[in-house]
């Protein structure tokens, strides 16, 4: 048994999730957000399934290319990038880029001449579970102006791009974004610029402790909105991360100790915390489910904390977490649906604890 904590990814489940999304949105191009789980075996599996890849850095570009992914299947989707990184990506064959400012557009025009571009706008979608805030995206009006400018700079216009926020649980969010994208597409058509694609980003949710709407709910909303608001020339692009890999991962951890605090609350300390895999518990946004060797014993509320000497390394103290009252040091704990944004968020060596290790199970190919 490997030394805990460690993450196990079920490749068969990744494949199942990909095929379910492809069946739900058969006309959409699926572009995996590598940042969610940059595991080589996942990239190889999804490449074999026909996926494209949303890459956020030169490092992710090199990883994908090193695994045999053709550069035309990559989109440099991070709107925050240095000129030299754009030049590097272009030299390596990447011909598709996202942007949300005129400065970045000009860098792309200079260092990736003739490339295809998507302009990210800030949609009016409701707030998601883990929102981006105003970090990314221009106004829809600016998106129209900048895509016209892209054409004038000799770039190929892909189309508008929006993201409804990570772990978005309101189906109306996609309808709102697609309607806004449709208005941008109309404005481009008036300028003689056909829209080749509308990128609806990621944000497709999965169920954690709380249930989230499934593809059976979300896909019809997306398809109906696309049929109503988008021109026939515009194909959909969807950029899932969590939806493909989240449910495929299980973290295996160990109880380090159990403490009765002066306020009477029970604290359970695990060998994994916010700095070595559980970053998405910040603000207790994501409520993971736990499975223990003592399930079936009486349960009570517990504060769950990580192993470091940092006072912020607490996973849950407001969220109600019910764990067996018999848990003790040395007991094994599994944290479910942890395939996304765990190992990729793990620190290098905070407090000397190593990054979360990853193991894969299941056949890579059928």
Asked whether the bond before 307 is cis by omega within 30 degrees of 0, the reply is no
CB-based contact 166:172 (threshold 8 Å): no
CA 54 centroid distance within chain: 10
Rounded CA separation 232/135 (Å): 31
309 classed as catalytic: yes
Q: Output DSSP code: residue 120.
A: E
Grouping H, G, I as helix, E, B as strand and the rest as coil, residue 10 is: strand
- 8 forms beta bridges with 250, 359
CB-based contact 171:224 (threshold 8 Å): no
CB-based contact 255:9 (threshold 8 Å): no
Neighbour-count burial for 149-161, b at 16+ CB within 10 Å, e otherwise:
bbeebebebbbbb
Give first-to-last CA distance, the chain, whole Å.
27
- Among candidates 317, 172, 305, 164, which has minimal Cα distance to 242? 164
Q: Output DSSP code: residue 355.
A: P
- Supply the DSSP string of 128-188, one letter for each residue: -SB--TTSS-B-HHHHHHHHHHHHHTTPEEEEEE----BT---THHHHHHHHHHHHHHHHH
Q: Which runs of E-coded beta strand occur in the chain?
A: 6-10, 29-33, 52-55, 74-76, 96-99, 116-120, 156-161, 197-199, 235-238, 249-260, 266-270, 290-292, 299-301, 303-305, 314-316, 322-324, 332-336, 357-361
Q: Is 215 left (phi over 0), alpha (psi -120 to 50) or beta?
A: alpha
Catalytic residue among 64, 119, 138, 309: 309
* Active-site annotation, residues: 309
């Amino acid at each position: 048994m490997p030394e805990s904590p460690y993450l196990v990814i079920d490749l068969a489940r990744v494949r199942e999730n990909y095929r379910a999304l492809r069946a739900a949105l058969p006309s959409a191009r699926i572009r995996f957000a590598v940042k969610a789980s940059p595991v080589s075996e996942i990239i190889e599996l999804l490449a074999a399934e026909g996926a494209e890849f949303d890459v956020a850095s030169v490092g992710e570009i090199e990883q994908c290319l090193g695994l045999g992914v053709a550069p035309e299947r990559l989109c440099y989707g991070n709107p925050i990038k240095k000129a030299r990184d754009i030049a590097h990506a272009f030299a390596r064959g990447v011909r598709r880029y996202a942007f949300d400012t005129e400065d970045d557009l000009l860098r792309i025009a200079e260092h990736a001449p003739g490339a295809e571009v998507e302009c990210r706008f800030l949609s009016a979608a409701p707030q998601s579970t883990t929102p981006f805030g105003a970090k990314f995206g221009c106004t829809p009006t600016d998106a129209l102006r900048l895509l016209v400018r892209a054409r004038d700079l000799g770039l190929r216009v892909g189309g508008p791009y929006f993201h409804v926020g990570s772990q978005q649980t309101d189906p109306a969010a996609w309808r709102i974004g697609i309607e806004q994208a449709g208005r941008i597409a109309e404005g481009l058509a008036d300028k003689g610029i056909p829209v080749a694609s509308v990128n609806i980003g990621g944000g497709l949710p999965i169920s954690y402790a709380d249930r989230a709407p499934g593809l059976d709910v979300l896909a019809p909303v997306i398809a109906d909105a696309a049929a109503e608001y988008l021109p026939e020339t515009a194909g959909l692009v969807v950029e899932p991360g969590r939806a493909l890999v989240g449910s495929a991962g299980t973290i295996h951890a160990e109880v380090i100790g159990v403490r009765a605090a002066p306020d009477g609350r029970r604290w359970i300390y695990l060998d994994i915390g916010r700095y070595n895999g559980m970053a998405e518990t910040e603000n207790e946004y994501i409520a993971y489910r736990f499975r223990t060797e003592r399930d079936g014993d009486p349960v009570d509320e517990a504060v769950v904390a990580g192993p470091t000497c940092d006072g912020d390394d607490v996973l849950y103290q407001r969220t109600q977490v019910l764990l067996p009252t018999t848990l003790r040091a040395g007991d094994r704990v599994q944290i479910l649906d942890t395939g996304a944004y765990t190992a990729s968020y793990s620190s290098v060596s905070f407090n000397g604890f190593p990054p979360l290790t990853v193991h894969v199970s299941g056949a890579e190919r059928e």
